[in-house]
Amino acid sequence: MPRAVITGGSAGFGHALSTALAREGWQVYITGRDQQALAAAAAPVSPGTITPVAGDVTDASHRDALVRAAAQDGPVDLLVNNASTLGRSPLPRVLDLDPDVFEALWKTNVGGPLALIRALAPHLTDGAAVVNISSDAAVEHYETWGGYAATKAALDHLTLTLAAEQPDLRWYAFDPGDMRTRMHQDAFPGEDISDRPEPETVVPTFLRLLRDRPASGRYRAADLSARTERTA
C-alpha cells in the first residue's frame, strides 16, 4: 500500500486530496492545527485509511511525530506540503506588513515545508514525489498579496533547486488555481467567491500528475487540464 503525507489535510484541497488518495488505496497521514477538524476529516475511507496527526508544521516535535507515524510501517511515496497561511485578513500592502506577521508567513509557508522535507527525506522511496502547493501569486504581482506571494515564490525556487540537487526524486511546485476554500475567502473578506471551483475539481488533475510523473518542475492545474483535453 503506498503511503502519503499531506499537510493542511483538515479542509480545502488537502482534505479533498487525502480523501481521493485513500479511496484509491493509499495510506494517508494528514496533519493540521485544528485537532477536531482533523479528526473529522480522517474518517476511514475504504480501501485505504487516513490517519490524523494534529499539530503545527513549524513545530519540530510535531514534525518528528508526523514522520514517525508515517514511516513506522514502511517508506513514504508522496509528500504534499499543502499547509500555508495568508498571515492576516484583510491582506495589507507590503509596507504595512507587521514584521512579526511577515516572519510567521516565512516560518509556515517556507520553513515548515523545507524542515518537513529534510525530516522525511530518509524515509522516501526511490522515485518518490514531493509536491509543494504553489500559487499564481508566486509569479504574478497583485496588490496586497506581496507577503504571501514572496513566500510562495521562495518555495517554488527551493522546489526546483531540490530537483537539481536530488534528481532521483520528483519535485513539483503545483499551482491548483483559485478554489472555493476558507483561505481564499479570508483573502477576500465579505466577497462572494461562489464562482471559484470546489477543491475536489482540481484533484483529478493532481492525480494525473502523479500517474504521468513528468520531469520535475512547476505545473499549473489549468495547463495540465488543457493539455489533457487537447490530447483526448
Q: Contact 53/29 with Cβ under 8 angstroms?
A: yes
* Nearest alpha-carbon partner for 216 in 175, 176, 172: 172
DSSP 116-147: HHHHHGGGEEEEEEEEEE--GGGTS--TT-HH
Sign, CA torsion 31/35/36/37: negative
Amino acid at 47: P
Amino acid at 49: T
Q: Which of 29, 142, 148, 172 is catalytic?
A: 148
Euclidean distance between CA atoms 203 and 222, whole angstroms: 12
Helices within 80-220 (DSSP H only) = 99-106, 112-120, 146-165, 182-187, 203-212
Euclidean distance between CA atoms 135 and 117, whole angstroms: 19
Specify the residue for cell string 496527526. Answer: 53
Within 8 A by CB and 6+ apart from 118, the residues are: none
- Residue 219 among the catalytic residues: no
* Nearest alpha-carbon partner for 11 in 161, 152, 180: 180
Catalytic residues: 148
